[in-house]
Chains A and B, each alone.
Chain A
Amino acid sequence: MSPQVRMINDIAVQFRHQGLDTAAAAIAEHVRAFWDPRMRAELLRRVDAEPESLDPLALAAALLLTSP
């Protein structure tokens, strides 16, 4: 598992109690605030290549990163 996938999955579990939409937005905000752009780009490559490796909540958050 790539470090980016491992990290966003770890983040996702912490936000799970908030419900899908709120949590996905919060995770995406967290990633935008703290991750270097190349890490975000690598995450998005993983989303395309191996979406099954992402926690569903992490996947929802990652998809938000593709939009502004």
Chain B
Amino acid sequence: MSLLKEPDLGTPARPGPATVSIEVDGLPVTVPEGTSVMRAAALCGIDVPKLCATDSLEAFGSCRLCLVEIDGRRGTPASCTTPVTDGMRVRTQTPKLEKLRQGVMELYISDHPLDCLTCSANGDCELQDMSGAVGLRQVRYGYDGANHRDEKTDTSNPYFDFEASKCISCSRCVRACGEVQGTFALTIEGRGFESKVSAGGTDFMSSECVSCGACVQACPTATLQEKSVIQLGMPSRSVITTCAYCGVGCSFKAELRGAELVRMVPYKDGGANEGHSCVKGRFAFGYATHPDRVLTPMVRARITDEWQPVDWDTAIAFTAAKLRDIQTRHGVAAIGGITSSRTTNEEVYVVQKMIRAAFGNNNVDTCARVCHSPTGYGLKQTFGTSAGTQDFRSVAESDVIMVIGANPTDGHPVFASRMKRRLREGAQLIVIDPRRIDLVRSPHIEARHHLQLAPGTNVAIVNALAHVVLTEGLVDRTFVDERCEDFDDWAEFIACAENSPEAVEELTGVPAEEVRAAARLFATGGNGAIYYGLGVTEHSQGSTMVMGMANLAMATGNIGREGVGVNPLRGQNNVQGSCDMGSFPHELPGYRHVSDDVVRGVFENMWGSTLQAEPGLRIPNMFDAAIDGSFRALYVQGEDIAQSDPNIKHVHAALAALELVVVQDLFLNETAKFAHVFLPGTSFLEKDGTFTNAERRINRVRPVMAPKTGKHEWQIVAEIAQAMGYPMHYDSSSQIMDEIAALTPTFAGVSFEKLDKLGSVQWPCNDNAPEGTPIMHRDGFVRGRGRFVQTPFVPTRERSTRKYPLILTTGRILSQYNVGAQTRRTANVAWHPEDVLEIHPHDAEVRGIRDGDEVMLTSRVGATSLRAVLADRMPVGVVYTTFHHPVTGANVVTTENSDWATNCPEYKVTAVQVGLTSPAMAG
């Protein structure tokens, strides 16, 4: 489509049932109470001139351009700050208004560089547009007086420039930074003529700016402009698609000039992000065209050989023949594959179908194994569905927000902005995390309670919270009696003294009174919502903790309406989708067990293949089976298991033991070092399909450009299946979704046509909910009654000792993503060029470590070296690092311990020792 310029109604919508009718320039319009005159005018097709107003921000009333006349009122009020009243009659164009606006514009233009023809915003400049709109023909004040035209340009940010000479001090950028992003990095410095936008008195790169791009988007001139636009020129067409980074699933307009992607602009109608973005989605898309990308298939007989580029037919025939040969020699179950949460639902679906129908076994797993598999298990046991309960928008109705084991400002920044907005409005915050994450205290945000627990003690804390709720009579008995089961057994268990805050205080390190206060607040503070991340799941009791949180939500009646719920924040873009599509070895698409004869029969009929009724191998089981010799070939799509999975030495040994490793990816990653076949994949800009985000929202991923490899990934998979003798053909990705919809009850109503019409839908989407289901379990749980499950605390076997006295916990940072394969190939490295070890100053001091020293991190299974950063946000005894850089290979130290129910690795608890790499370096 041509460049999509979204309408700007000037001020935000004011939802509400009450309406007000007014007349604008003789046209009648009825709008919700509280709507501004400017927005009412826009809704009846009349654009009032404006500069400081935009509908993503509250009205500010500073530019004096949107003046109107209102019958019965004196003066010329600003239409952006004037709410409608019933019967109001407004005039937006009169000779008086025209004269006033021209006078205002004259003042603006007299202090603006008139380089429109060479300006990077030419054609996309609101100052330019407004000059035309108000009919400006002359500037009486001349251009020689005091002005700002010599102000310096700040080019420090890798993605955008701040050209101060073009700033009109409208404050849109400052307000966007505060209201939308919630960072408050920008301010107006000085007063009167001296007032200017400032990044805290420093340049943008050195400031608190998180490069979300909200300021750039809000800027009406070329003051804040993407470097890509400055370099390439204005884009001329847009494609609406979905970000391929985290599980928030932001919608973007990919704006192109010819075939070249110029910029990604967050889409206001995007259900998940509503016009907001973060540094990754907004700017870090350069990896898609990075020269490191491999675009030609390659094969080799041994991993010590050089790669041989081949054509697609050769690569597919080679792969299929090798897989069949291994099955002939070692049995049908000797091969398997891993689907990717970075690929589309359709791509995941065809891979698991290939494995089940063409390979003839259930040896399929997904990277969700190592992040959110406990979510699937725990929520299915308690609620009956393997997904979060709310949409993101719901947080606006929360009164008490509990964040457990998640760092949303780094991991899920666009959702974090929504959450912070609600917190600024007065919602209370409880943070449960060993680290003092940014949310604990940041501008205009302060957690009421930070339960700074020892790593590995989540279950003890959630049980203690529930103990207080139960023993202090705070249970919502009406909810429990009407909607839940097994409460009495659970109540007997949770009431035991061993679950009291006092009993677990020494173990968790959290003062009992603090736990009691947090529990009381959560139970009595209104709508209580739980948001959690991998700090919950990646433990040996991850599934227990998920069930513990579900128990707490049910006991307090916080399920089934806006503002409550149990909400997993998913790591990768399509974690939810990859699970929905049947990537687990025991479940067919739609979370139905492979042993269910009826369900299996439906798939067998549709697929024309006999399916196995027994579960297959999970990823860690595949590694073990590779080492014991019963598993010989692995197909890996879009995952770098050699870097991302725990105990790297073990993973490498398993990969090296395999006869055939097939890697389908964008880059020659760490896993590809063990591969015999490399099948180049497509970036999100080339994909045609859908992603499902953490709120079950199915979003369209539209091809911005043709696949650079010449084939869609689903085509490659289908061709391998066919070469193995299993007929599999699709004409389009849409056809694959139609098959998914035909086989998966929760997707029954989903089609590309519906998604194009509605923008997105949240599953279940079927006859009962034809436009999707934003909030789950409204009238009853998916499993009928919500089930209370007893969750005894079982400590991890990983313990700190004199030899390994510290506990390592791992996580992400805002600018990098997962194993860094994408973000390391962008300018985001400017913020995080290497993994570092955060250590409390006390722990550092006793080891003679100073900030910036190279240190050795050692666990029972391995060692690596990295730079130490002293950080008092760490508690004493706990160290932290990221796993974004293969040179560090943080997972060389993480253990094989895993969640008892799902084998999700215990990344968050590793006993380690830290010491200077070389004593000489201490000097």
Is A14 engaged at the interface, CB distance under 8 Å to the other chain?
A: yes
Is B745 engaged at the interface, CB distance under 8 Å to the other chain?
A: no
Identify 7 residue pairs between A and B in the complex whose beta-carbon atoms are under 8 Å apart, listed by A's number.
Answer: A7-B903, A14-B544, A14-B792, A34-B615, A36-B362, A36-B617, A36-B625
For A8, give the chain B residue with the smallest CB separation: B900
Q: Flag if A14 contacts B615 (CB, 8 Å).
A: no
Apart from A18-B790, A35-B615, list 4 A-B contacts with CB within 8 A: A14-B544, A35-B621, A37-B614, A39-B621
CB contacts (< 8 Å) of A68 on chain B: these are: none
| B374–chain A nearest beta-carbon distance, Å | 12
Task: List residues of chain B with CB under 8 Å of any chain A CB.
Answer: 333, 362-363, 493, 540-541, 544, 585-586, 593, 595, 614-618, 620-621, 624-625, 628, 630, 790, 792, 794, 898, 900-903
Q: Using a CB-CB cutoff of 8 Å, which residues 8-45 of chain A contact chain B?
A: 10-11, 13-14, 16-18, 30, 33-39, 42
| A21–chain B nearest beta-carbon distance, Å | 16
For A13, give the chain B residue with the smallest CB separation: B794
CB contacts (< 8 Å) of B618 on chain A: these are: 34
Q: Provide the bound-state CA to CA distance between A68 and B618, in Å.
A: 23
Q: Flag if A10 contacts B333 (CB, 8 Å).
A: no
Main DSSP-derived SS at the A contact region: helix
Q: Flag if B585 contacts A36 (CB, 8 Å).
A: yes
Picked from B585, B792, B901, the residue with its CB within 8 Å of the CB of A11 is B901
Q: Flag if A14 contacts B794 (CB, 8 Å).
A: yes
Q: Known contacts A3-B624, A13-B794: does B614 contact A36 (CB below 8 Å)?
A: yes
Q: Known contacts A7-B903, A13-B900, A14-B544: does B615 contact A38 (CB below 8 Å)?
A: no
Q: Known contacts A3-B621, A3-B624: does B616 contact A11 (CB below 8 Å)?
A: no
CB contacts (< 8 Å) of B901 on chain A: these are: 11, 14, 30, 34
For A30, give the chain B residue with the smallest CB separation: B901
Q: Flag if B900 contacts A38 (CB, 8 Å).
A: no
Picked from A7, A33, A38, the residue with its CB within 8 Å of the CB of B333 is A38
Q: Flag if B617 contacts A17 (CB, 8 Å).
A: no
CB contacts (< 8 Å) of B902 on chain A: these are: 34
For B334, give the chain A residue with the smallest CB separation: A38
Q: Flag if B615 contacts A17 (CB, 8 Å).
A: no
Q: What are the 7 A-B residue pairs with the smallest beta carbon separation, nearest first?
A: A10-B900, A3-B624, A36-B617, A13-B794, A37-B614, A17-B792, A11-B900
CB contacts (< 8 Å) of A38 on chain B: these are: 333, 625, 630
| A18–chain B nearest beta-carbon distance, Å | 8
CB contacts (< 8 Å) of A3 on chain B: these are: 620-621, 624
CB contacts (< 8 Å) of A10 on chain B: these are: 540, 898, 900
CB contacts (< 8 Å) of B363 on chain A: these are: 36
For B363, give the chain A residue with the smallest CB separation: A36
Q: Provide the bound-state CA to CA distance between A37 and B416, in Å.
A: 43
Q: Provide the bound-state CA to CA distance between A3 and B333, in Å.
A: 19
Q: Provide the bound-state CA to CA distance between A18 and B628, in Å.
A: 34
Q: Known contacts A34-B586, A35-B615, A36-B363: does B621 contact A14 (CB below 8 Å)?
A: no
For A6, give the chain B residue with the smallest CB separation: B896
Q: Provide the bound-state CA to CA distance between A17 and B620, in Å.
A: 28
Q: Provide the bound-state CA to CA distance between A38 and B268, in Å.
A: 51
Main DSSP-derived SS at the B contact region: loop
For B540, give the chain A residue with the smallest CB separation: A10
Q: Provide the bound-state CA to CA distance between A34 and B585, in Å.
A: 8
Q: Provide the bound-state CA to CA distance between A14 and B795, in Å.
A: 10
CB contacts (< 8 Å) of A36 on chain B: these are: 333, 362-363, 585, 614-617, 621, 625
| B899–chain A nearest beta-carbon distance, Å | 9
Q: Provide the bound-state CA to CA distance between A23 and B903, in Å.
A: 20
Q: Flag if B586 contacts A14 (CB, 8 Å).
A: no
For A2, give the chain B residue with the smallest CB separation: B624
For A10, give the chain B residue with the smallest CB separation: B900
For A4, give the chain B residue with the smallest CB separation: B624
Q: Provide the bound-state CA to CA distance between A14 and B902, in Å.
A: 13
Q: Provide the bound-state CA to CA distance between A14 and B595, in Å.
A: 24
Q: Provide the bound-state CA to CA distance between A13 and B544, in Å.
A: 12
Q: Provide the bound-state CA to CA distance between A54 and B898, in Å.
A: 18
For A42, give the chain B residue with the smallest CB separation: B628
Q: Known contacts A13-B794, A38-B333, A38-B630: does B615 contact A33 (CB below 8 Å)?
A: yes
Q: Provide the bound-state CA to CA distance between A39 and B622, in Å.
A: 10
CB contacts (< 8 Å) of B615 on chain A: these are: 33-36
| A9–chain B nearest beta-carbon distance, Å | 9
Interface centre among B620, B621, B630, B790 (most CB of A within 10 A): B621
For A18, give the chain B residue with the smallest CB separation: B790
Q: Provide the bound-state CA to CA distance between A16 and B794, in Å.
A: 10
| A53–chain B nearest beta-carbon distance, Å | 15
Interface centre among B362, B363, B493, B794 (most CB of A within 10 A): B794
| B845–chain A nearest beta-carbon distance, Å | 37
As a 0/1 sequence over residues 51 to 65 of chain A, the CB contacts with chain B under 8 angstroms (1 = contact) are 000000000000000
Q: Provide the bound-state CA to CA distance between A27 and B617, in Å.
A: 18
Q: Flag if A33 contacts B586 (CB, 8 Å).
A: yes
CB contacts (< 8 Å) of A34 on chain B: these are: 586, 615, 618, 901-902
CB contacts (< 8 Å) of A42 on chain B: these are: 628
CB contacts (< 8 Å) of B493 on chain A: these are: 17
Q: Provide the bound-state CA to CA distance between A28 and B900, in Å.
A: 14
Q: Flag if A14 contacts B333 (CB, 8 Å).
A: no
Q: Provide the bound-state CA to CA distance between A10 and B795, in Å.
A: 11
For B614, give the chain A residue with the smallest CB separation: A37
Q: Provide the bound-state CA to CA distance between A30 and B595, in Å.
A: 13
CB contacts (< 8 Å) of A30 on chain B: these are: 901
CB contacts (< 8 Å) of B585 on chain A: these are: 36
Interface centre among A16, A17, A30, A42 (most CB of B within 10 A): A17
Q: Flag if A17 contacts B625 (CB, 8 Å).
A: no
CB contacts (< 8 Å) of B362 on chain A: these are: 36
Interface centre among A14, A16, A42 (most CB of B within 10 A): A14
CB contacts (< 8 Å) of B614 on chain A: these are: 36-37
CB contacts (< 8 Å) of A33 on chain B: these are: 586, 593, 595, 615
For B620, give the chain A residue with the smallest CB separation: A3
CB contacts (< 8 Å) of B625 on chain A: these are: 36, 38
CB contacts (< 8 Å) of A39 on chain B: these are: 617, 621
| B425–chain A nearest beta-carbon distance, Å | 40
CB contacts (< 8 Å) of A13 on chain B: these are: 794, 900
CB contacts (< 8 Å) of B630 on chain A: these are: 38
CB contacts (< 8 Å) of B624 on chain A: these are: 3
CB contacts (< 8 Å) of B617 on chain A: these are: 36, 39
CB contacts (< 8 Å) of B628 on chain A: these are: 42
Q: Provide the bound-state CA to CA distance between A42 and B629, in Å.
A: 13
Picked from A14, A18, A37, the residue with its CB within 8 Å of the CB of B900 is A14
| A56–chain B nearest beta-carbon distance, Å | 16
Q: Provide the bound-state CA to CA distance between A43 and B900, in Å.
A: 16
CB contacts (< 8 Å) of B616 on chain A: these are: 36
For B899, give the chain A residue with the smallest CB separation: A10
For B543, give the chain A residue with the smallest CB separation: A14
Q: Provide the bound-state CA to CA distance between A42 and B544, in Å.
A: 26
CB contacts (< 8 Å) of A7 on chain B: these are: 900, 903
| A61–chain B nearest beta-carbon distance, Å | 13
CB contacts (< 8 Å) of A18 on chain B: these are: 790
Q: Provide the bound-state CA to CA distance between A17 and B463, in Å.
A: 15
CB contacts (< 8 Å) of B586 on chain A: these are: 33-34
For B585, give the chain A residue with the smallest CB separation: A36
Q: Provide the bound-state CA to CA distance between A30 and B615, in Å.
A: 11
Q: Provide the bound-state CA to CA distance between A34 and B541, in Å.
A: 17
| B327–chain A nearest beta-carbon distance, Å | 15
CB contacts (< 8 Å) of A14 on chain B: these are: 541, 544, 792, 794, 900-901
| A16–chain B nearest beta-carbon distance, Å | 7
| B572–chain A nearest beta-carbon distance, Å | 23
| B906–chain A nearest beta-carbon distance, Å | 11
| A54–chain B nearest beta-carbon distance, Å | 15
| A8–chain B nearest beta-carbon distance, Å | 9
